[in-house]
Amino acid sequence: MACRSASDALKLPPFALSLNVTGKPRMKQNDIIAPSILAADFARLGTEVDAVIDAGAEIIHFDVMDNHYVPNLTIGPLVCTALRRYGVTADIDVHLMVKPVDRLVGDFVAAGATYITFHPEASEHIARSLELIQENGCKSGLVFNPATPLTCLDFILDKVDMILVMAVNPGFGGQSFIRGALDKLRLVRAIIDRSGRPIRLEIDGGVKIDNIGEIAAAGADTFVAGSAIFGAKDYAAIIAAMQLEIEKSKSA
């Protein structure tokens, strides 16, 4: 009866009805702010990345769009290579919004990516794409759009190092947060905790000071923010304020 109640509250799909949502301790990961360079000043990108790392960020989020899977065109492996050659040593989290996926994996591995995540709709063989990323020495992940179900996680959870929940529809920065992402975060957090695997749970889209605490409380541990950080005058102040709201959420 308790499981049914928790499932109903989170609107769990049939594949996840057996999850013990409240009885499993959370697989603790440190909380990380991941600035999205899509919102940075590209005329001085290396300096911008240095500035946010010095301000307290730990991961650089790298959005790759192909004007095919999503209606926008951004950056590719050469920019990732340039950041590494410039001297960036922080983890680079490459979010592929491209179709097909596999063709670009090797290029981003060679360019210095740490994580490579992609959308399940963009791969003909999800498990093979995840394995390709891991076999080449990178951490792999899946990205779920607001309307994308989580059912494939039931079969490939052993192959992912990160799960990214989108709180906006991908393609453009500066969009508003879709609150339904909070329910999806809670569901994914339950899935991760039940698995016992150290999988990062990332959120992307509309993350700001006024909602990051609520997002953290829903289970996220990795927070992508673009315009909220790069649009601020003081990167250290905005990142510190976000970290404070995350900490507040833990004691609420």
Range of the domain at 220: 30-251
| pLDDT category of residue 61 using cuts at 50, 70 and 90 | very high
In a domain, 11, yes or no: no
In a domain, 14, yes or no: no
Crossing angle of helices 2-10 and 180-195, rounded to 10°: 140
Q: What is the pTM of this model?
A: 0.89
The enclosing domain of 49 has a CATH number of: 3.20.20.70
In a domain, 169, yes or no: yes
* Number of domains into which the chain is organized: 1
Per-residue pLDDT, 23: 46
Arithmetic mean of pLDDT, 148-166: 96
Q: Does 224 have pLDDT greater than 70?
A: yes
Per-residue pLDDT, 24: 53
**DSSP β-ladder status, 139-144 and 115-118:** parallel
Q: What percent of the chain has pLDDT over 70?
A: 88
Per-residue pLDDT, 71: 92
Per-residue pLDDT, 6: 31
**Residues β-bridged to residue 34:** 224
- Which residue numbers are catalytic? 63, 204
Per-residue pLDDT, 18: 39
| pLDDT category of residue 25 using cuts at 50, 70 and 90 | low
Arithmetic mean of pLDDT, 38-62: 98
In a domain, 1, yes or no: no
